[in-house]
Chain A
Amino acid sequence: MKLTVNGTEHTLDVEPEMPLLWVLRDELKITGPKYGCGIAQCGACTVHVDGSAVRSCSITVGDVDGDVTTIEGLGTPDSLHAVQAAWVAHQVAQCGYCQSGQIMQAASFLDLNSEPTDEDIDNAMSANLCRCGTYPRIREAVKTAAKTLNEA
């Protein structure tokens, strides 16, 4: 089976029923996406498939139809994605565990809705949990990222 992750094509020897998250973390050693709940209740495992946010714990690798992007492929340290830059500017992370999922969710959301209202932001991010309660900083960082993306 072939799977393209962050622009690199991989050949995998796995059962098609294996969740994408397992493939990323255990087979490909791409550990940005985190395991929180395994049942689409927390958002820690969020990645993109062809640019759309997907909970990688809840899609089997056989059902993936498109190229996968993880936090490792969203931006680079020299050239951060606008969402990552906003996260740094607002010092969003506390323990960090939920943050790769938060960032991937926010990036795909802003791609679909470039002029979000505060309510849109809350609705888009409310399925990504943060045990450290960084929600107010997340909301501010999403607003900053939206502004940057709209100015670009």
Chain B
Amino acid sequence: MKIKAIIAAVLLSTSVVQAEEINLEVPQNVTLEQGLEAWARMYEVVSHPRCSNCHVGESDRPMWSGPSYGKARPHGMNIRAGESRIGVETLECATCHVGSTSDQPHTPPGVDGDWRLAPVEAAWFGRGSLEICGQLRNPETNGGLSFQEIAGHLGHDVVLQFAWKPGGGREPAPYSLEEHASDVLMWGAAGMPCPTE
């Protein structure tokens, strides 16, 4: 079956285009309290619709939610991203989400890379701070990444950078890409603490 080969090819070629320079220096002498503050800001970002709408866990349906969408609902047109997470089984995300983001309202945003859903394990939509924190610091559910690698990945994965320049009148994720990456490093330097500790 042809799909399998295509999925394999797609997974091998993750969208690493246009790196954005971010400072990856790990801060020293970070207290637990500072680490938890950094996590609180990180949670504001990861639970924001610009991020969580595509972090839908087991589901393969992207969400439409946030200030410009009214009531939260699954992506219109019965869009399914499938096991591939980029829709090759049915309708590729890139059929509409292709090229650059236009500033016209109601147009599909795009980036110079694969538009896609996040991996199943990175389930954020509707989840609380503790749950997401636990997922992000566990190598079994975070893609085996160190905190430095998580911060680094923000610098070169253009689909994530979309969250801060969404265009089309959409509300951007809070803070900035640079601030978010520096919070990841601060949280990591404090030992990746989660709120109950």
Contact = CB atoms under 8 A, between A and B. Distances in A.
Given A112-B6, A114-B1, A58 B107 contact: yes
B108 A123 contact: no
A122 interface: yes
Nearest to B3: A113
Interface residues of B, number: 26
**B interface: dominant SS:** loop
Contacts of B89: 112-113, 120, 123
Among B92, B98, B102, residue most surrounded by chain A Cβ atoms (within 10 Å): B98
A113 B88 CA distance: 8
A60 B90 contact: no
Interface stretch (A6-14, A48-56, A89-97): A48-56
Given A39-B106, A40-B108, A123-B80, A52 B92 contact: yes
B28 interface: no
Given A112-B3, A114-B1, A58 B108 contact: yes
Contact of B95 (A39, A54, A114): A54
B90 A109 contact: yes
B2 to A, nearest CB: 6
B107 A40 contact: yes
Contacts of B110: 58-59, 63
Interface of A: 39-41, 46, 52-55, 58-60, 62-64, 105, 109, 112-115, 120, 122-124, 126-127
Q: Which 7 A-B pairs have the closest CB atoms?
A: A63-B99, A40-B96, A127-B77, A123-B90, A124-B90, A126-B78, A40-B108
Interface of B: 1-3, 6, 76-80, 88-92, 94-96, 98-100, 102, 104, 106-108, 110
